[in-house]
Amino acid sequence: MRALIAILLLTCAGIAPAATLTLQTGATARAFTVEQLLARPDAREIRVPGDVSYHRETRYVAVPLKALLSGVPADAHLQFVALDGFAAEMPASLIVDGHGAEAWLAVEPPGKPWPALAEGKPSAGPFYLVWTNPAAGQVGPEQWPYQVTAIRVLADPASRFPAMQPAASLPKDAPARRGFAVFQRNCITCHTLNGQGDAKLGPDLNIPHSPTEYLRDDLFRTLVRNPQDLRHWPQAKMPGFDRKVLTDADLDDLLAYLKHMSGRKAQ
């Protein structure tokens, strides 16, 4: 209650409350302010040659995420929640041991905002997960969440969202099973399926209809590769997935998964 009153008083006075990152590990939650993170002895300036969000070389004051997640086991699963409803999912092993890829939590300094992501849009702050040498860990663009407000240690999506799982009777090497892995890696950040999932940015991909029910296969592939080639909409938020991020085989498997799930709608 006191914290809420303080925020209301600051707002009325025209002063924005300091941004806070919440780190939730099970029943335990810790909060880190911008000032606390910038004051850490391991915070330093880093250079990011190929920034996914700004599409150029950038420099940030950042904290090594591995140090911030000290004590989190490599077999845990992480969820990064953004202010706009984006929810990036990734295994903790990618951060604990990225095989050369290193994850950093970039912190937007008070009074020195980062540039806007695009005209009319905010910056990537207050907290942004960036990578150095991302290719070594096969880090994809969906694993660069920005405007992060919370990091949660959770069970993996297949355990949390059983209605997303393909039929147990499918062979282990079935394309739909591989497509479920593709969905978890690239789609679950923005979309729910069968009403399950934590993302709030895009529509559900099975209820009331799967896109495979109203798009031909070639048009679905066009939508994924470059949504603007299918329907031009300046306010669209969905990015395109090129072949470096999503191979043709991955796309075929994703299509197989969505077709399979169109016959497994949640009641």
> Cα Rg for the chain, rounded, in angstroms?
20
Q: Alpha-carbon distance 31 to 36, whole Å?
A: 10
Position 205, amino acid: L
Report the percent of the chain where pLDDT is more than 90: 63
Same domain? 71 vs 33: yes
pLDDT at 171 over 70: yes
Same domain? 144 vs 115: yes
SS3 readout for 107-123: ECCCCCCCCCCCCCCCC
pLDDT at 1 over 80: no
Q: How confident is the model at residue 267 (pLDDT cuts 50, 70, 90)?
A: confident
Report the percent of the chain where pLDDT is more than 70: 92
Q: Convert the pLDDT of each residue in 97-128 to its tens digit.
A: 878 899 999 999 999 999 999 888 899 999 99
Same domain? 168 vs 139: no
Per the listing, tokens 């069970």 go with: 155
Q: How confident is the model over 10-38, as a mean pLDDT? A: 76
Same domain? 70 vs 143: yes
Same domain? 29 vs 140: yes
SS3 31: strand
Q: How confident is the model over 2-27, as a mean pLDDT? A: 57
Of the three residues 154, 180, 204, the one that is the final residue of a domain is 154
pLDDT at 65 over 80: yes
Q: 93: closest CA among 143, 53, 44, 49?
A: 143
Same domain? 50 vs 149: yes
Higher pLDDT, 50 or 40: 40
In a domain, 267, yes or no: no
Same domain? 165 vs 148: no
pLDDT at residue 200, rounded to an integer? 78
Of the three residues 127, 154, 181, the one that is the final residue of a domain is 154
Number of domains in the chain: 2
Position 236, amino acid: A
SS3 169: coil
In a domain, 148, yes or no: yes
In a domain, 126, yes or no: yes
pLDDT at residue 169, rounded to an integer? 95
Q: Alpha-carbon distance 70 to 68, whole Å?
A: 6
pLDDT at residue 95, rounded to an integer? 93
The answer to which of 18-22, 159-163, 179-183, 232-236 has the lowest mean pLDDT is 232-236
In a domain, 24, yes or no: yes
Alpha carbon 243 to its chain centroid, in Å, reads 19
Q: Alpha-carbon distance 209 to 186, whole Å?
A: 20
In a domain, 102, yes or no: yes
Same domain? 150 vs 188: no
pLDDT at 235 over 70: no
Residues 96/71, Cβ–Cβ less than 8 Å: no
What is the extent of the structural domain holding 25? 20-154
Q: What is the mean pLDDT of the chain?
A: 88
In a domain, 11, yes or no: no
The CATH number of the domain holding residue 242 is 2.60.40.420
Same domain? 210 vs 133: no
In a domain, 108, yes or no: yes
Q: How confident is the model over 20-41, as a mean pLDDT? A: 92
Higher pLDDT, 7 or 156: 156
In a domain, 162, yes or no: yes
Same domain? 56 vs 141: yes
Residue 25 bridge partners (DSSP) = 28, 153
pLDDT at residue 86, rounded to an integer? 84
pTM for the complete prediction? 0.75
Contacts of 122 (CB under 8 A, 6+ apart): 116, 147
pLDDT at residue 18, rounded to an integer? 63
Higher pLDDT, 259 or 19: 259
Q: In what order do the strands lie in the sheet with 28-33?
A: 28-33, 20-25, 148-154, 77-82, 87-91
Q: What is the largest CA-CA distance in the chain?
A: 62
Q: How confident is the model over 3-8, as a mean pLDDT? A: 39
Of the three residues 102, 126, 154, the one that is the final residue of a domain is 154
Q: Convert the pLDDT of each residue in 186-225 to its tens digit.
A: 898 889 999 999 887 889 999 999 999 999 999 999 999 9
The CATH number of the domain holding residue 130 is 3.90.420.10
Same domain? 43 vs 137: yes
Residues 254/182, Cβ–Cβ less than 8 Å: yes
Same domain? 186 vs 233: yes
Higher pLDDT, 32 or 232: 32
